[in-house]
Amino acid sequence: MELLSELLTDYLTDHGDAEPPLLASINRETHLKETRPHMLSGHYQGRILSMISRLLAPTSILEIGTFTGYATLCLSEGLAPQGCIHTIDINEELQERVQSYFEKSGLAAKIHYHIGPALEVIPTIPELFDLVFIDADKQNNRAYYDLVFDRVRPGGLILIDNVLWKGKVLEKETPDKQTASVLALNAYIAADQRTEKIMLPVRDGIFLIRKKIFIN
C-alpha cells in the first residue's frame, strides 16, 4: 500500500525544493544498478530529512543504514559548521561507489563512513548525538533504539523509518512476524515517557521522536 499517491507526491515535490543534482544522479544510478532501489529515501523523504536536520543544526548525526548514501547527504545538509555525521552499513560492496558520492558532494570530510554490523560499530563511536536516523535491518530496530537512547542528548531527535510497514500495521488479521515486530516497537515507543513523538505519514512512515530535556 502506497500511503501517498503518485499524483500527491508529485504535487508535494513540485512545490518544495528541487532534488539537488548529485542526489538526482545517485537516485538514477541506484535505480539502474541496485536490485532493491526502493530502499533509498528519494526526493520527497530526502527533502524532509534535510529540513529536519536544518531546523536542528546538529553537531553530531548517526545514520544506521547508509545504502547508497542518499539520506546521508540529505542529513548532512543541516550540519552545524563544525558538525559531522557517522553512517554505518554492513554491505561493503557499495563502499567504493558511495565514498565517491561523498567526495563529489564536497562533504566527505564531515562524513565518517563505517562498514560493519551497526550493533558492533555504534559502541565504538564515542559521541553524543543530536540526531539519529534508524534505517537498516528492521528486526534490530528495538535494539538500535535502546542502544542509542542514552547516546542522544536531551532535546535530540531519533527518526525511525518504515514504521507503517506498507500499511500492514493497520491490517486486522494476525500479523506476520515482521509486522508484529513493527507493531511491538511502535507500541513501545508510543508508551515511552522519556520522549515526545509523532508519526509522519511520509512514504513508509517515519517516527519522529524527541528526547525530553527534563525526564520526570
Ligand X SMILES: C[S@@+](CC[C@H](N)C(=O)[O-])C[C@H]1O[C@@H](n2cnc3c(N)ncnc32)[C@H](O)[C@@H]1O
Contact positions vs ligand X (CB under 6 A): 39-41, 65, 67, 70-71, 88-91, 117-118, 135-137
Q: Which is nearer to ligand X, 56 or 122 (CB)?
A: 122
Give the integer Cα–Cα distance in Å for 196 and 86: 24
| Least Cβ distance, residue 15 to ligand X (angstroms) | 22
State the Cα angle at 36 between 34 and 41, rounded to 5°. 100
Residue 134: CB minimum distance to ligand X, A: 9
User: How far is it, in rounded angstroms, from Cα 115 to Cα 96?
Assistant: 11
Report the residue number, 143 or 213, with the smaller CB distance to ligand X. Answer: 143
Q: b/e map of 22-34 (b: 16 or more CB within 10 Å)?
A: bbeebbeebeeee
How near is the Cβ of 70 to ligand X at its closest, in Å? 4
* Closest CB 117 distance from ligand X, rounded Å: 4
Burial category of 177 from C-beta neighbours within 10 Å (exposed 0-12, middle 13-18, buried 19 and up) = exposed
Are the C-beta atoms of 137 and 160 separated by less than 8 Å?
A: no
CA–CA separation, 101 and 23 (whole Å): 9
**Smaller CB separation from ligand X, 39 or 152:** 39
Work out how close the CB of 3 gets to ligand X at its nearest, in angstroms, rounded to a whole number. 16
C-alpha cell at 89: 552499513
Q: Which is nearer to ligand X, 41 or 173 (CB)?
A: 41
The residue (of 63 and 130) whose beta carbon lies closer to ligand X is: 63
Q: For 34-92, where are the alpha helices, taking DSSP H only?
A: 42-56, 70-76
> Which residues, 6+ apart, have CB-to-CB distance to 6 below 8 Å?
none
Of 137 and 171, the one with the shorter C-beta distance to ligand X is 137
Cα separation, 141 vs 139, whole angstroms? 6
Q: How far is the CB of 13 from ligand X (least distance, A)?
A: 16
